Amino acid sequence: MKIVPIFGEILFAVQYPCETEDAFKRLFNSWADPEYLEEFFENNKADITNGYYGTFTVEGAIFETYEYAEELESRILALAENSKTNIKKGLEEIFKPLHTSDNRTVHLKQSKARNRWLRIYALRIERNVYIVTGGVIKLTRTMQERQHTMDELSKLNKCRTYLTERGIIDIEGIIEEIEI
- The pLDDT score that the predictor gives to residue 64 is 96
On whether the pTM is more than 0.85, the answer is: yes
Closest by CA to 99, choosing from 157, 47, 53, is: 157
What 8-state DSSP symbol labels residue 32?
T
Structural domain for 20, as ranges: 2-179
pLDDT tens digit sequence for 24-83: 999 999 999 999 999 999 999 999 987 788 889 999 999 999 999 999 999 999 999 887
CA angle 161, 163, 167 (to 5 degrees): 115
pLDDT tens digit sequence for 85-119: 766 678 989 999 988 765 655 679 999 999 999 99
Q: How far is CA 69 from CA 18, 78, 91, 105, in A?
A: 25, 14, 17, 29
CB atoms within 10 A of CB 139: 21
Domain count, the chain: 1
pLDDT tens digit sequence for 124-170: 998 889 999 999 999 998 888 899 999 999 999 999 999 999 999 89
Q: Which residues pair with 137 in a beta bridge?
A: 118
Give the whole-angstrom CA distance, residue 72 versus residue 74: 6
